[in-house]
């Protein structure tokens, strides 16, 4: 996880601003930002609108150990399926690559997933390929996907 966004209330924004100003962050100017701070592997920007953008390798730790307990007062990271059970409902996803007839071939793929598949893939680290850092990792995840048993059904 290298990026996280949230919308903060005015009270939460004030707590975050205080944390950034007193927490050893190097403050920097960002257009339209209320406050922005940098630490090694972490950029935190709170915009005047209340939108918060956290980026860098330290994003997960910041969200788990600062943002949720100290600023938001609620744990959400890792509880997405509990907070929104529809995330585990069966569905079909479709994506395409290429530009079609005018610019060359177009490849379209679809995948059906249900709760057992989503849980297995999540545990294996399967996620948006744009966030996977190496060809070796993509090959490993590809093997997991291709090895998923057809018809994987929920436990009865």
pLDDT digits (tens, 9 = 90+) for 94-142: 888 877 667 778 888 888 888 888 888 877 887 777 777 788 888 888 8
Q: Which domain holds residue 30?
A: 3-77
| Residue 134 CB contacts under 8 Å (≥ 6 apart), including other chains | none
Is residue 153 a part of any domain in this protein?
no
Is residue 135 a part of any domain in this protein?
yes
Q: Are residues 17 and 66 in the same domain?
A: yes
pLDDT at 50: 94
Domain count for the chain: 2
pLDDT at 151: 61
The neighbour count for residue 79, using CB atoms within 10 Å, is 11
Is residue 78's pLDDT more than 70?
Answer: no
18-21, Cβ contacts within 8 angstroms, sequence gap of 24 or more:
19/66, 19/70, 19/71, 20/44, 20/46
Is residue 156 a part of any domain in this protein?
no
């Amino acid at each position: 996880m290298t990026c996280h966004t949230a919308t903060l209330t005015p009270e939460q924004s004030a707590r975050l601003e205080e944390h950034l100003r007193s927490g050893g962050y190097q403050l920097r100017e960002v257009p339209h930002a209320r406050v922005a701070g940098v630490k090694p592997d972490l950029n935190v920007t709170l915009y005047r609108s209340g939108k918060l953008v956290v980026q860098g390798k330290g994003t997960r730790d910041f969200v788990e150990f600062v943002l949720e307990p100290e600023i938001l007062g609620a744990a959400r990271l890792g509880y997405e399926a509990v907070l929104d059970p529809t995330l585990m409902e069966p569905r079909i996803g479709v994506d395409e690559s290429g530009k079609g007839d005018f610019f060359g071939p177009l490849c379209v793929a679809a995948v059906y997933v249900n709760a057992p598949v989503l849980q297995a893939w999540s545990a294996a680290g399967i996620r948006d390929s744009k966030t996977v850092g190496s060809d070796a990792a993509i090959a490993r995840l590809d093997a997991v996907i291709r090895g998923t048993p057809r018809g994987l059904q929920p436990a009865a």
